Copies of this chain bind each other. A is one copy, B any other.
Amino acid sequence: MDRQFDRLLAIPSDPREGLYRAMRHATIGGGKRLRPLLVFATAQLFAVDKACTARVATALECIHVYSLIHDDLPAMDDDDLRRGKPTVHCAFDEATAILAGDCLHALAFEILADEATYLDPFARVELIASLSHASGPSGMAGGQMMDLEAEKASFDLPTVTRLQAMKTGALIACAVECGAILGRVPPEGRTGLRGYARDMGLAFQIADDILDAEGDEALAGKKLRKDGAAGKETFLSLLGLERAKEQAALLVDQAIEHLKSYGPEADLLRDIARYTLERDR
């Protein structure tokens, strides 16, 4: 991923230099790279070309990073630490952060539309349809809006589940879906992978809530204990620690069960599901 972004974001010698430095700051070095990893782990089930997979993985990470940059802004979550580094608006300024996010957003679609990503335009358009839907008002950005409202309202468990399915689940599901699209799996053949992504994404988010309450800020590389301070309902506040941990473990088992038609070639996907519970960042 670092090599991909280094190539993609060569610094121009004109007044946009700061903009490119900001994009590099946000994309290079750090992060779990969960979404790119999911693209790779799914695409390798179908022996997809590595260079094509890397481009799609980069596009997914562009969207994820743009959302982090914008979510960290003072008007949103107002965070100053991300991936163990100052957030973009702290290292640069707010205007540069807004534009760096917007640019990564556009670059994601520019990468996917390029024929180097996949020769058949139908597959490219399917990748773009999946990513734009997952990242817009019906997915990630819509979920972030619900998350902001969560500070004012008191959401019940179904609403928190829907919020998380949109805010983080949609892009995680899209990463798996894109791997399947690259593998030319028709929509009716994606049921198991979709089930895997849904359950794994939800387990990931429950683990995130637990990490927010119990984790180590130095390891996580970002500010923690935010949900409680903001008075937001989370899986943890609604279920309690014990039941939240049980629920996450159950979801990981279910996620792995969805992969039963695949052999050892899906072991990486199974390991990723288990990792969601064990991670410290």
Contacts and interface: CB of A to CB of B under 8 A. Distances in A.
Interface of A: 14-16, 18-20, 23, 66-67, 70, 73, 75-76, 93-99, 101-103, 105-107, 109-110, 112-114, 121-122, 124-126, 128-129, 131-133, 135-137, 141-142, 144-146, 148-150, 153, 155, 159, 162-163
A18 B149 contact: yes
Most buried by B among A19, A23, A75, A102: A102
Q: How many copies does the complex hold?
A: 2
A246 B33 CA distance: 54
Contacts of A128: 109, 112-113, 125, 128
A95 B126 CA distance: 30
B137 A103 contact: yes
Contacts of A145: 15-16, 18-19, 96, 99
Contact of A94 (B66, B75, B125, B129): B75
A113 B109 CA distance: 10
Contacts of A133: 106, 110
A144 B75 CA distance: 20
Contacts of A102: 66-67, 70, 101, 105, 136, 141
Q: Is the interface of A mostly helix, strand, loop or mixed?
A: helix
A226 B109 CA distance: 33
A125 to B, nearest CB: 4
B70 A144 contact: no
A110 B141 CA distance: 14
B125 A121 contact: yes
A23 B93 CA distance: 26
9 contacts: A14-B146, A67-B102, A70-B99, A76-B98, A102-B105, A103-B136, A110-B132, A113-B128, A121-B125
A16 B142 contact: yes
Contacts of A14: 146, 162
Contacts of A153: 15
A197 B124 CA distance: 28
Contacts of A126: 113
